[in-house]
Structure 1
Amino acid sequence: MKIKEIKLYGFKSFEQETKFLLNPGITAFVGPNGSGKSNIFDALRWVFGEQSMKALRCERNEDLIHMSADGKSDSNFAEVTVTIENENFFPQFGSEFEIKRRFYRDGESEFYLNRVKCRLQDIQALFLNSGTLTYSFLELSEIERIIHGDTKEMFDDVAGILKYQERREQTKKRLEQTEQDLLRLEDVISEMERTVRLLKRQARQTQLYQELKEEYKKLSLILLYTEYKNATAELKDAEESLNNYNQKKQGILVKLNHLEEERQRLKNELALQETKRTKLIDEINHLNEEIETLQQELIGYENELREFSIEYERKATSLQEKEDYIKNLTTRIEDYEAKLKDVNNELLTLNEKLAQEQENLERFSGEFVEATRKKEGLQRQIDAIIEHMQALKNELTRLELNKANRENILHKLNQEKEELIVIASRQSEEQANIEQEINKVVAEQDRISKIVTELQNQVLATEAKITEIANDIQIRQNDLNDCKLLIDALSNRLGKIENVKFVKQQFKEKFLGIYRDYITVHQGYEGIIDICLYDTLNFFLIDDISINDLKNLPEGRYGFILRKEKKKRDIPEEIKMFKPIAEFCEFKSHKELLKDILSDFFLTPSFDEALKYAELFPDYGFVTPDGVLFYKNSIIIQKGGFGYFQITNKLNEYQSKAETFQNEIIFLTDEKRKLSNQLSQMRSEIENYKEQLFSLNIKKSELSMHLNTIKNKLDSINSDIGEINNEKNKLTSEISEMNNSINEILHRISEHEEMFAQMEREKEQLEDLIKEIEGRIDEKNKELNQIMLKVGILKELKSVTERNISDARNEIARFKTEIEEITKLPAEDKRISLEQKINELKHEIQARKEKKVSLENQIPEKIIQELTKNLDSIYEEISRIQKEQDEIQNLIMQVNFRIFELNHKKEELIKKAKEEFQTELVEYVPEDIPDVEQRLNEVKERMAKIGEINPLSLSAYEEEKKRLDEFLAQRNDIIAAKQNLLKSIAELDLRAKERFIETFKEVKDKFNQVFSRFFEGGEADLILIDPDNPLTSSVDIVVRMKGKRIKRINQLSGGERTLLAVSLLLAFYLVKPAPFCILDEIDAPLDDVNVVRFNKFLRELSQHTQVVIITHNRATMEYADYIYGLTMEKPGKSKIVSTRLEDLEPVGVEEQ
């Protein structure tokens, strides 16, 4: 793929349409400063999707459009068109395709792909997914970025992870949006949970309150029924008591009647006795008359005087009794009258108080009726205002909703109209090409899917191989680890000789070494030598020793062997048949000295022989092949490989094995790495193909949707615009009318709210007044009931007292009549006359005295006295019974009052049950519940603790709980979506990390190669500051110039830094090669030598890449195949001159 043609119109300094034909090889644009060379570089970047005005050297978008110096020939838009020879780089296009970008002064921007209008992201996605433009544009600003250490974005760019980053950013934005949604939902859920908890608590309280209320009702009814039952029973008892008292009263009346009859009988009998006595006296008188006749008149007078005296005495006694009884009755009457007076006074007072209280009650009732009437009237007014306000608010809500709907519709209509106008201008042109492009996309999808399937099969096979190799590596790694553990264990068992360095320094030239370092043991005899020498192996060999040498030795155990000739002793003939142990050793130096140490030890073939000769020759050592040593009456046995030479042999053996395992692991790891590289490459290819499939799927979906939209919209677009205009006019008029109505309603609502507030205040005042009046009326009713009850009792008491007074007065009248009869006695002169006569006839009395005594003895005086005594007793009994009658009458009055109270209580209980609990108490059948009063008190206390409740909380809780469950389900869905997004981000990070590390290694190799070419003998390296996090780690550059130490980029000179930056840019390009490379004065900072090297590199690069360079350097011009010269004859207008260096003939320049 290469650029065939560039066409500029109105772009910066190119006023007229200007074409550039580009050929393979190196094309250079030259010219003086300010001639417009870099504008070509900007034009190419712009048409390929560059959006940064800073990168395009503009302050604003309008600066892209050509402006003449005089302002008369300014362009209306800027346009850049690039024709590209495809060469099958993009299979969806033919041999050529065209990209065009146009920008108008009004800010509208257009993109065309093959003359079909498209979007900026389509252009960017086309080249971003293919990676062709990653480093097609190189300029000095890139060098500055490298010099200042800003290379991370470049590495990301060349690694091709921008698409991952873009997708990651999109996914991250979706994640942030999801988190925001989740956060908002959490806030809503938190608030709803708080509300639900509150409602749940209220619902529980309401439910509990209702249950308690039902229990309160049940217990109260039971208690009311119990009180009613008790009152009924007590009323029955009271009525029975009243009957009993009435019966007692009747009994007392019967007794009084009986006593009265008995009194009357006694009176009659007394009268009879008196009559009888009178008759006897008459007989005596007759006798006296006879005597008087006989004794002449004296005796008669005496008798008459005596009769007169007796009669007077009798009547005087009866008169005194009656006067005493009258006094008693008079006293009782006075008591009754005083009591009646008190009762009348109390009745008068109570009647006056009753009249006053009734008057107050009537006054309070009138006030209550008047206040209630006012309240009801005010409530009717309030209800009317509320109803009117609600109607106004409903009308306001309806108008606002209608207004919002119409404004929303109007806004949508405006948007729809604008969209329809824009769509109408482009849909007709796009429809014809979409179906053809869809077919191409489907064919390409089929082709890529087959390739992906083949690659996936290869990936599975490669992964199986890698797994097999990894298992082998793990097995060998385990074996290696086991060897290392054994090596460490053997090394620890072997140990180190302490203070070797100090002994060496102490003895200096006298120090010869350590015994074990000078001896080598034949294979198979290591154990025998170890048991014979034991600690001697660790002894130091020295030439000489003095006491001073030993003084400064540190704490520890030391063994020394002096290099002195030892006098040889003769070996007994009996043991010469055994081999000396020294024959199984080799000595590196000091052979005689070292050999002499082993000269006393011999190898015997059996245990019995060793034991035998050890007893015969105790100064010699005899050792068996099994490792049993007999020496100086001692037996030493060594089991296991604990000897120095045995451990050393095993240690060497395991070290050899470890080295073998290490080499095998390195070989397998290298093979695994190669397969992993192949696998990464295949996965990368699969990802690339999947990205292409993803892009194709997106493109296919967009094209299909676009095609359907076009077909639907083209039919209705023209008619819709006309309908939209009519609808807009209609909506505008309706919204204006609604605004007027809304303002009017708001004003009326405000007035009604003020009236409502005022009336509510008046209503509250009336309610307070009514409550106060009701309290007064209840109080007055209670007082009236008490007064009426007292009046009834006093009236009954008055009636009883009046009857008692009447009865007493009748008795007094009767007794006075009797007294009047008694007081009718002879006159006093008669008595005197008789006395004179008696005195005169005294002598006659004596004569008749005996007869008189006889007659007097016959007179019933005792009977009369007894009868009189009995009458007095009857009078006393009557008084006692009348007193008992009074007491019973008082009890009857108390019982009547209690009956009245009980009847009133029953009526109140029935009324309370009906009003409070809507229950007929008479028909109520209670449950059998113990301790009702205690439980009722507990229920009251619990209800009081609960306090006020929300009666609507139960239904509100159910509704809010249902809504909360819906929101919780939404939260779970969002959390699941969040987890999926996090998983997608992790997968994108993993892919980007793998691709970045792979590309980083490639750039590292290429950079070193390019750097070595520019700096002969130099080396360069790239280092990740944080290798564990390569995607976020910055990159450090270190170099080593020939003959110099390693330096960082900030330690280099200016020229070295520039050339290093150019080397890195070229390394980027080599790793991510593009079909064409556009360079803007990138050779400017280089010296002549490096310019030549740079141009040679460009020449090699141009063999397979189209190179376009903007330059001032003559050496670079010499390497160019084609040169375009730019000048500016007129201010602000660039002019083009071209030449091919081979024939110096103008080519491909066309100016219009």
Structure 2
Amino acid sequence: MKIKEIKLYGFKSFQEETKFLLNPGITAFVGPNGSGKSNIFDALRWVFGEQSMKALRCEKNEDLIHISVDGLSDSNFAEVTVTIENEDFFPQFGSEFEIKRRFYRDGESEFYLNRVKCRLQDIQALFLNSGTLTYSFLELAEIERIISGDTKEMFDDVAGILKYQERREQTERRLEQTEQDLLRLEDVIGEMERTVRSLKRQARQTQLYQELKDEYKKLSLFITKSDYEKTIAELKEVETSLNSLNQQKQNILIKLNHLDEDRQNLKNEFTILETKKKETINEINNLNNEIESLQQELTNLENETIQFSIEYERKTASLKEKQEHLKNLNNKIIENEKKLEDVNHELAIWNEKLSNEQNKLETLSNKFIETTRTIEEKQKTIDGILLKLQLLKNDLARVEINKTNKENVINQLNKEKEELTRNLSTRTEEREKFEQELDVIVKEQDNISKAILAQQKQISELEAKIEEIENDIIKRQEELNDCRLLIDTLANRLGKVENIKFIKQQFKDRFYGMFRDCISVHQGYEHLVDVCLYDALNFFLVSEISPDDFKNLPEGRYGFIFKKEEMTRETPEELKKLKLLTDFIEIKSNKEFLSIILSNFFLTGSFEESVAYSKRFPEFGFIAPDGILMHNNSLIIQKGEFGYFQINQKLNEYQSRAESLQNEIVFMNDEKKKLLYELSQTRTDLEQNKERLFALNINKSESSMQLNTLKNQLNNLNKEIGEIDNERIKVIKEIEELDIRINEYKTQIAENEKTLVQTQTEEEELKNNLSKIEAQINNQNKELNQIVLKIGILNELKSVSEKGLAETRIEITNLKNEIDEISKLSQSEKLGMIEQKIDELKQSIQEKKEKRSKLEGEIPEQTIQDISKKIDSIYDEITQLQKQQDEVQNAIMQVNFKVFELNHKKEELNKKAKEDFQTNLDEYIPEEIPEPEMKLNEVKERMARLGEINPLSLSAYEQEKKRLDEFLIQRNDIITAKQNLLKSIAELDARARKRFIDTFNEVKEKFNDVFAKFFEGGEADLVMTDPTNPLTSDVDIVVRMKGKKIKRINQLSGGERTLLAVSLLLAFYLVKPAPFCILDEIDAPLDDVNVVRFNKFLRELSQHTQVVIITHNRATMEYADYIYGLTMERPGKSKIISTRLEDLEPAGVEEQ
């Protein structure tokens, strides 16, 4: 695996997209200071996941984005892309893959793997254990980090245990989470166990309540069934009564229907007669019109007869005059003119009279028509009033019946209210009684509750004391165990002397014991004696020895002190002022010869004093108070508890402490027993109080339930009384409204009857007026006919006179023709035809008048009056029957109400049975139960004494018990998981430890070899600061240059430090080669000789690792295979120039 291409855009000084192609071997980036060479190093570190802004030489992330000098062409983001050739290093990718990192000014950061968005940890996980993230990037700051000993992460990466560490951290997090889960689960289980115990007690109580409830259901169902059957029997009786009433109602309805049919038939007949009467009157009016028309025609014919006679006479007279009196024609004309003037005058008078008479006739006709129409309207009004009266009387009867019913309801409500008031008073007295009982129970509850709280507090205090004692016992037990462990340890350190039995048997009576057993040391001087005597304390004391005594000794090291004759050594004067060692030692009897050995040691005031005395008196030993011994020009120092007497002293102290702790534990256990007994007694008293409180709770619940029942009953009674009062007020109001309606009906009936009489009177008056008007019309017609006839004659005379004058004056010559024309028409024939027609008209008029008289006689006035009387009679019967019907209907309503109540009661009982007991009463056949009400009351009392019941306790108990079992199983699983996690951590530690130690030894060996190459004759070593725990131990570097003493690393020069770091880096690469090595000016501190060594290292390294170096050194450039030159033609913007040395070498040869 190697880097194929680097692409930068907007990263620091690289504003535009810049590409670098990298090849195997050594690639060098060169250029003046500030040209942006190190930005390439930063870019590579950044794209591989570097997060430290200090390592990237920035203060904040935004500093990575290119900023132009003029500020006009700033980049919006920084992006670095690296294309990597893959040689089966990552099998999941192909021949190459790409990683990219991008950062925006708004702070958003993106990572891409093969152009797919990913996370930083994905990139880091990809290159984990490849060396890329630890020792592939090296700069001078990294060298200082290596020198300061911060190499642990590099060693972990080389050893490949980073993944183990990551897995271990994940496992530890899981373990911590598991422990937290276990703690929470323990709390939950403890709480659930308390809940389950409580639910179990409630479940037993609920089970008992359920049994009582079943008994209550059975008894209630039996009582309900009995009530149901009684209700059905009563319902049948009421229904029989209802059928009888319905039959009566049906009979009344049949009579009413018959009467209504008769009334309707009479009304129809009345209507027909009225219609016939109106038609007859219309026909009479028509006949009058026809008679008038025929009379007019008769008048015209009579006028025509008169005119014809006059005309004939005039013509005859004219002809005679013309014939006989032609000479006297002018005189006759004068006479005719005078006569015409008289006729005109008379005609004007008669015409005026005719106009007046016609106006009178027209007035009478209009008055006749208007009177006829008014009579018809009056008749309609009378019919309407009669119908309205009938309806009003019906409504009045219904309202009066309704009022009577309402008054009955008021009486019934008053009775119910009195009954409810009596019940209310009784229930109120019972409620006061239960309230007094409840107050007594509450006071007793308060007293017991206070006692329980005091006992619970006492139990808590006792438990706290017991817990405190138990904790003290545990602490002292732990301390005792520690003391026993130390006692065992110290006893083992003292140990038994090997083969002492053999020595005793070998020397028998000559054996005096061991040196240490024959002396005792004053307190505080044990360490001085241990330093002075040390091994001699374990020597055997014998009286004498021979060579044969040692032939059969077992293998081992033995020391013997044998008793000699008393030898005296004179103490120098200078030493007599010093204290002898024997001054602090007591020698047992018969062992005084030991004082010779002990008298060789003196106690001085200081180490310097001991040194001075030892130089002058080397045969003696001098020991300072701090335990430093000078003897025979040798110095002996003892640190820690290594001496016999010191160990023995500590052993005695720990034994004494252990005995004291044992006594304290016994005393605490006794105290704990007392407290436990007191706790047990208190808990017993607490349980008794709880049982008393439970019994009181049951009584309280029973009283509360009964009190609540009474309160509910009182509320219901008050509610019922209120409802009855509201109903009474409502009914009274309705009665008042009915009274108002009755008065209104009576007033309306009286008004309508008065209006009827008045209207009928007016109708009679109108009929009389109509007869008078009719007579006046007939008289007026006769008089008018006479006037018309007179006017006709006068008009004819006038016309004849005028015509005669004209004919006389104009047509004298035509007289013969006129005479001929008059002669042609037979006077008698024409006159006979007119008279015949007149006779026919008179006969027709007479027939019409006879017919009119006949029609007037056919008007059924008497029949109409008879029918009206019959209708009134039928209406009276209907009213009587309707009253009977209302009475029957009221009875039916009451019976229906009773039926409704019984049906409602039946339905309620059935509904109650279905809802409360899930039983159909019609199908239910109970067993006979004697005295069910008494038994039901007993069950109620027992249920009430149980108090408040948790109906869900059974299911809740089962559910909580099941959950508790599940939690217990879960706790076992978590404990097993915790053990597995601990086992996994141990396995991971073991594997990582082995890998780290193997890799460390390998790196150590390679590092020593590489260091020797860089520093001829030099030696270097890697040392773990904590060999017992290599996974957490730091690694120190120890170096020694040729011909020099061991140096501290910080005493090395800059070049030596660099080569030391490079040596370690090369050792890493030799053990575990990284795919590439990126170096930033680490050759700067090296001199020419070391630069050559360094470049040889790079050349050797480039054989299997891709090397990229940023440098100023020309010697390093000579070893590079590819060189990229960087310049900065414009401030803040880098530019690259690349070349291969292979291409430059031929050109250099040609120039030479």
Common fold: TM-score over 0.5: no
TM-score (norm 2): 0.37
Q: TM-score, normalised by structure 1?
A: 0.37
Give the greater-gyration-radius structure (CA): 2
